[in-house]
Amino acid sequence: MVLGSDWLIAPYPPLGVMGGARHRRPSRDLTQAPHGPEQALTALQALQGMTVNAARAAGEEHLAGRIALGHRADLTVLADDPLTVDATGLPDLPVLLTVVDGGVTHRDPSL
């Protein structure tokens, strides 16, 4: 399973995509009951869909998709564990730090 957030006609933040995949609704509609809940992804599947699986699909598994020696330092630090946060709360999970190719691109003032 590969997830993405580069939809050209509307914004789709990565956490919203993951929440929607887990709840089976678009991120703008997570208050609604899931549609086909038996097809929902687990928290781990959604996280892998945005990281290691996406890197593999792009042919970049040797450069990206996980935190490892020799990989690009692209990572996001969240205020809570995305594997334990309820799917409906995932889109609103605060981003504390974002690093792209080893450089900090966002730092929450609380850090």
Cα–Cα dist 97/111, whole Å: 8
Count other C-beta atoms under 10 Å from residue 1's C-beta: 12
Q: What is the pLDDT along the chain (111 residues), one digit of tens a residue?
A: 888 877 666 667 889 889 888 988 877 778 888 888 899 999 999 999 999 999 999 999 999 999 999 999 899 999 999 999 999 999 999 999 999 999 999 999 999
Q: How far is CA 12 from CA 3, 72, 103, in A?
A: 11, 23, 23
Query: Strand order in 95-100's β-sheet?
Result: 75-78, 95-100, 103-107
Provide the token pair at 32: 């609604």
Query: What pLDDT is stored for residue 58 in this prediction?
Result: 93
Query: What pLDDT is stored for residue 36 in this prediction?
Result: 85
Query: What pLDDT is stored for residue 11 in this prediction?
Result: 67
Query: What pLDDT is stored for residue 103 in this prediction?
Result: 94
